[in-house]
Amino acid sequence: MGAWSVDTPDVRGTYRVVQSFRDGFIGEILIKNTAGSDRAWTVRLDFPAGVGELRNQWLEGQPQPVFTQVDGEFVWRSTVDVRPGSTVSLRFQFGRVNAAPVPSVCTVNDAPCAFP
């Protein structure tokens, strides 16, 4: 019998809420490159109904990513690769109506985000 192997993504994402307030929240995805070479990344987020409009977005200490929104899905694509062993912080501020600030979809390079 052949050995099973599990692909571990080279670029991983961890989602968390940095700050929550009555009418909105600031979320973050930590994007970590565990590969031995530079890697590009794409983040996809989708929230359930009740999470409001995207008010602001930024990448800490890096050139800003390319952003698109299609049918409620928010997509950020890197303009600069993440160096090996490095982590970058993508932050965003959303309005909130009646929903918890937990996305229904969160992926980095098509791999699911971790939720600590």
Q: Where are the alpha helices (DSSP H) in the chain?
A: none
Tens-digit pLDDT profile for residues 7-35: 568 999 999 999 999 899 999 999 999 99
Model-level pTM? 0.89
Partnered with residue 94 across adjacent β-strands are 25, 54
Tens-digit pLDDT profile for residues 73-93: 999 999 999 999 999 999 999
Q: How far apart are CA 85 and CA 58, in angstroms?
A: 21
Contact 78, 20 (CB under 8 A): no
pLDDT of residue 8: 65
Task: Please give the domain boundaries of the chain with CATH numbers for all domains.
Answer: 11-112 (2.60.40.290)
* One-letter amino acid of 43: V
- Cα–Cα distances (Å) from 10 to 15, 35, 41, in that order, read 17, 5, 10
Q: What residues contact residue 91 under an 8 Å CB cut-off, 6+ apart?
A: 18, 26, 27, 28, 57, 58, 59, 60
Percent of the chain at pLDDT exceeding 70: 93
Tens-digit pLDDT profile for residues 48-60: 887 889 999 999 9
